[in-house]
Chains A and B, each alone.
Chain A
Amino acid sequence: MNRLQLFYCLIRADFLERTRRYSFLITLGFTLYAAYVFLPPNPSNYATLQLDGHRGIYNSAWVGSLVAMMTTMFLSFAGFYLVKNSLARDRQTRVGEILAATSLTRPQYLIGKALSNFAVLCVMIFLMITAAGVMQLIRGEDTHLQLWMLTVPFFLITLPVMAIVAALAVLFESIKFLRGGLGNVLFFFLWIFAVSSEALNHEMFLGINIPLKSMQASAESLYPEYQTKREKMSMGFSFKDEGQQWHLTTYEWHGVDWTAEDIVGRMLWFGVAFGIVLAAGLFFDRFDSTQNQPRGEPRRHGGWVRSFRDKNDSSHMYPEVSETNGTKTVAVHLSPLSEMRFKSQFFQMVIVELKVMLKGLSRWWYLVAFGLIIASLAVPLDVSRQILLPLAWVWPILLWSAMGVRETQYRTHQLIFSAAYSLKRQLPAMWLTGVIIAMLVGSGVAIRLTIAGEWGGMFAWCVGAMFIPSLALAMGVWTGSSKLFEVIYLLLWYVGPMNKILALDYLGSSPETIAAGIPQIYLVLTLVLCCLAVIGRRRQLTI
C-alpha cells in the first residue's frame, strides 16, 4: 500500500466513524443555523459586524468574507473541542493497540488523524459556504452570486485556521497532561489570547484582519467622518437594548485584493500545522501507556492532572501489580448480613464521593486552593469578591467536570446503577460533594461577607456554590462527557464574572448583580439543572 492509499484508508475510517454519529448531524444543524444568524437583516436588534454604523451590502464579497470571518472565530474554538477525541477514541476502543502493532509510523498515524480532523471541519465549512450563498439570496440585497468572491475568504482565511486547529487537537491528544480537562482549559485561554491579539490588530493565525482592514478602508474612502470613529466598530454579536435596533448604513464593498504575499502568508499556516503534527509525534506514546511510568510504588500524590486527564488510559497509570500469594487457597467464612444493616447511609455516601473526587490531587492543588482562601481573607472585600472568588471558583473546574461523567467514563455505571436507590442516594451525594468543594474553596469570601453583614452577597454566594455543580452534573449526566461543562463553564466564567456582564454573573460578584436580582434567576436555573440531572440519571438507570 503506498502512502496515499494508507492516508486515504486512515482518514476514511476515522471520518466515517465520526460522521455516522447523530451528534455530527446535530453539529451540522448548528452550522446551518450559524450561517443564518451571521447575516442579520437590516434593521435588526443585533449586528455581527458594524463599522461605526456601516456595513457592506450583502453581495458575495461581503457575505463570503463576513461568514468566513465569523466561522473562523467561532469554529476555531468549538472545532477544537469537536475534533479533540480522535486519539481518545482509539484508546477507548483499544483499536489504537491494534494499530500500534502494525508497521504504521507515528507521523503517519498522527498525520492521518490530523487530516481526518481537518476533513470533519471542512465538511462544516463547505456546508457554511453553501448556506452563505443561500442566505445571500434570501436577504436579497444583491442576488448576483459570485462563486469566487463567496468562497475565496473561506479558502484563504478559514481553512488554514482549521488546519491549525486540527493539528493542535492532535498535539493536545498526544501530550499526556493535555489529553483531558487541563488541555481543554488551556486551549480556552490560548483561544482567548489569539482572539484578543487579533482584536488589537496583531496579525495572528486567525487572519481576520485582512478583510477587516479592506472593509474599513473602503468605508473610510466613502464616509469621511468614519476615520475618526474607527474604534466604534464591533465584530461578534452586538445586541441593542430592548426596543432598539441597529440601522446600518450600507455601502458596496468588492472584496479583498489578495496579493501574492497575502496568499503565501496564509498558506504558510498549513506548513505550521504540519509542523505541529510532526511535533506531536515527539510526545505520542503510540498507545504504549506504560511508557515513562514510575517504577516501584506509585506516588501517593501523582499530580493534579492525574485523576482527570486521560480517563480511558488511566488503567495503566500505575506499575502492574503482581500477586504474591497466587497459590494460596484460603477457606474463608463470609459473615451473613442482616437486613437491618442496610440503611440510607447518605452521609457515608457523601464521604466516599468526596474521597473519589479528591483522590489523586497533588499537594499543589490544595496549596493553591488554600492560598486563594487566605488571600480572600486578606484583601479588600471588593477585590475578594470580584477577582478572587471567580478565581477560586474556576480552580476546581476539573473536579466538577467529572461529576455525572465518572460512571460512564470508567465503565462503573453497571455496578453503581444496579445498587438500590442509586437515584436518591448517589446522585444527591455527588451533587452535595460538588457544593462542598465550591463552599470550601470559596470560604474566604463567605467569611468576609458574613463579617461585613452583606447578606445579599452571601445569598448570591450560596446560589453560586450550588449553581456550578448543578450545571456540571446536568451536563455530565446528559452528555456523558466532561468537555461540554468545561467549555461552557469557562465561557460563562470569562464573559460573566470576569468581564462583568451582569446577566451572566452567576457568582453575584458585584452589588449591581445582586440589586438586579440575578442570583434569584440563577437559583431558579439551579433548580432546573438539578431536575435535568435527575431526569438524565433516571433515564440512564432505566435504559
Chain B
Amino acid sequence: MNIVIENISKRYKGNVWGLRDFTLTIGSGVLGLLGPNGAGKSTLMRILATVTRPSAGTITWNGINIEKSPNDLRAVLGYLPQDFGVYPNLTAIEFLEYLAAAKGLNHAIARKRIDELLQLVNLVDVRRRPLGGFSGGMRQRIGIAQALLNDPQLLIVDEPTGGLDPEERVRFRNLLSELSGDRIVILSTHIVSDVEATATHIAIIQKGKLITHATPERLLSSVDGSVWEWVIPSAELPLIKQRYLISSTMRRTDGVRVRAISKAAPDSAQAVQPTLEDAYLHWVSNHTVDPNG
C-alpha cells in the first residue's frame, strides 16, 4: 500500500504557486506533514483527497493514477478537511447516515458503524441533537467520525485537532496511532506536539516545496548537539534574538532562560536534548542539509 507523489505543482491565479515540484512516497503509518501557515499543506491534502487537481505532476495510489481514476482512491479514502460545514438541521446520526450513503455504505452496516464511531468520538449523548447547536470541537469530532465511516485505507486529516480540548486532543492522537497499523494516515498540522505523539514519518514543507522527509529520530539527530539553554539578563534578550534562532524563552527570577539552536555553543550555554520543535524550527529557518544524506 503506497501513495506516490511525483513532481506535483499547483499554480493559482496570479502566478501564485501552492505547491512546486513536490515529490514524496508515502507508505503505511502516520505521516506528519509539518509546515508554517501558507506552506502548501492544505493544497497537498486537497490534491491527495481528489478535491483539487494539480497543475502538473502525477499521484498514484497503489499504481493507479488518482487524477485519471479518482474513484478508486475515493472508495477507500477518509478525508477530514481543515474547513468544513455541516447541515445544521440534521442530527449527528442523520448527518453521518447521509455521508455513509454518499460513500456507498450499506444502510444496516452504516448504522452499526455510526454507533461505534459516535462512541469513539464521545458524542453518544448528543447524537440526536441538531448539529446547529454543536460547539466547534463537537463538530470537529463529527468530522473525524465521518472520515472513518468507510474504514478508510487512506486517512487524510487536515489540522484535525483545531478546536478540540486537551483531553479530546489526546484521545484523537491515540486513535490515530491505533488506526495507523495497516493503513496510511496523513496528518497535516502546524502543531508539532500532535505530530510528535503520533507520526512514524515527518515531512516538512515550506513555500510549496518539500524540504525534508525523515523519521522523527532522524530529524532529532539532525539538530543533536545544536540546541542550547542558558540564562541571560532580560535586557540582553533583543540582542540574543538577533544573533540566534530562539526556540523558547522563559522568565525567571534571575533573568530569562533562553533555548536556542546554534551550531556553535553560545557563552555559558549548556547543550540540551533536542525536541521535534527544535528540529522543525531548524529546518524551516535553514533547510540546506537533508538528514537522509
A343 touches B134 (CB 8 A): no
Given A337-B113, A420-B74, A412:B125 Cβ within 8 A: no
Is A306 interfacial (CB-CB < 8 Å)?
Answer: yes
Contact flags B71-94 to A (C-beta < 8 A → 1, else 0): 100110101010111111110001
* Count, A-B residue pairs, CB within 8 A: 173
User: Contact check: which of B53, B79, B104, B117 meets A414 at CB < 8 Å?
Assistant: B79
B98 touches A332 (CB 8 A): no
Bound: A414/B146 CA distance, A: 12
A-B contact pairs, 19 of them (CB 8 A): A298-B133, A314-B88, A317-B89, A323-B125, A325-B124, A332-B116, A334-B120, A336-B151, A342-B103, A342-B150, A343-B106, A345-B104, A348-B107, A355-B94, A355-B98, A356-B98, A410-B85, A418-B79, A543-B51
Contact flags A383-419 to B (C-beta < 8 A → 1, else 0): 0000000000000000000000010001111111111
Is B236 interfacial (CB-CB < 8 Å)?
Answer: no
Which residue in chain B gives the minimum CB-CB distance to A313? B88
Binds B, one of A126-134, A204-212, A218-226, A421-429: A421-429
Is B50 interfacial (CB-CB < 8 Å)?
Answer: yes
Is A328 interfacial (CB-CB < 8 Å)?
Answer: yes
User: Contact check: which of A321, A337, A353 meets B134 at CB < 8 Å?
Assistant: A321
Bound: A227/B98 CA distance, A: 66
Given A315-B88, A325-B124, A410-B86, A419:B167 Cβ within 8 A: no
Please give me the 6 A-B residue pairs with the lowest Cβ-Cβ distance, nearest first.
A411-B85, A318-B133, A420-B74, A360-B89, A318-B132, A337-B151
Interface positions of B from 119 to 145, Cβ below 8 Å from A? 119-120, 122, 124-126, 129-130, 132-135, 138, 143
Count how many chain B residues have C-beta atoms less than 8 Å from C-beta atoms of the other chain: 58
Q: Which B residues are CB-close (under 8 A) to A416? A: 99, 102
Bound: A543/B50 CA distance, A: 9
Q: Which A residues are CB-close (under 8 A) to B71? A: 420-421
A337 touches B94 (CB 8 A): no
Bound: A345/B117 CA distance, A: 21
Count how many chain A residues have C-beta atoms less than 8 Å from C-beta atoms of the other chain: 58
B interface residues, Cβ below 8 angstroms from A: 46, 49-53, 70-71, 74-75, 77, 79, 81, 83-90, 94, 97-99, 101-107, 109, 112-113, 116-117, 119-120, 122, 124-126, 129-130, 132-135, 138, 143, 146, 148, 150-151, 165, 167, 171
Q: Which B residues are CB-close (under 8 A) to A327? A: 167
Q: Which B residues are CB-close (under 8 A) to A329? A: 122, 167, 171
Is A333 interfacial (CB-CB < 8 Å)?
Answer: yes
A341 touches B116 (CB 8 A): no
Is A335 interfacial (CB-CB < 8 Å)?
Answer: yes
A337 touches B85 (CB 8 A): no
- Min Cβ gap B114→A in Å is 11
Q: Which B residues are CB-close (under 8 A) to A335? A: 112-113, 116
- Min Cβ gap B152→A in Å is 10
Which residue in chain B gives the minimum CB-CB distance to A411? B85
B124 touches A425 (CB 8 A): no
Bound: A316/B143 CA distance, A: 18
Bound: A352/B132 CA distance, A: 18
Contact flags A325-365 to B (C-beta < 8 A → 1, else 0): 11111101111110001111100110111011001100000
Bound: A425/B101 CA distance, A: 9
Which residue in chain A gives the minimum CB-CB distance to B98? A352
B85 touches A412 (CB 8 A): yes
Interface positions of A from 243 to 258, Cβ below 8 Å from B? none
A415 touches B132 (CB 8 A): no
Which residue in chain A gives the minimum CB-CB distance to B124? A325
Bound: A316/B88 CA distance, A: 8
Which residue in chain B gives the minimum CB-CB distance to A417? B51
Q: Which B residues are CB-close (under 8 A) to A415? A: 79, 81, 84, 99, 102, 143, 146
A410 touches B87 (CB 8 A): yes
B51 touches A414 (CB 8 A): yes
Bound: A329/B203 CA distance, A: 31
Is A103 interfacial (CB-CB < 8 Å)?
Answer: no
Bound: A343/B103 CA distance, A: 9
Bound: A262/B133 CA distance, A: 54
Bound: A336/B88 CA distance, A: 29
Which residue in chain B gives the minimum CB-CB distance to A344? B104
Bound: A360/B130 CA distance, A: 10
Other than the given A320-B135, A335-B113, A336-B151, 18 more pairs (CB < 8 A) read: A317-B133, A318-B88, A318-B133, A321-B133, A323-B125, A326-B122, A330-B119, A334-B120, A334-B148, A342-B104, A355-B98, A359-B90, A414-B79, A414-B81, A415-B84, A417-B51, A419-B102, A420-B74
Is A23 interfacial (CB-CB < 8 Å)?
Answer: no
Q: Which A residues are CB-close (under 8 A) to B125? A: 323-325
Bound: A306/B89 CA distance, A: 9
Q: Which A residues are CB-close (under 8 A) to B87? A: 356, 359, 406, 410, 412
Q: Which A residues are CB-close (under 8 A) to B84? A: 411-412, 414-415
Bound: A298/B74 CA distance, A: 36
Which residue in chain A gives the minimum CB-CB distance to B52? A543
Q: Which B residues are CB-close (under 8 A) to A421? A: 71, 74, 104
User: Contact check: which of A315, A320, A323, A349 meets B102 at CB < 8 Å?
Assistant: A349
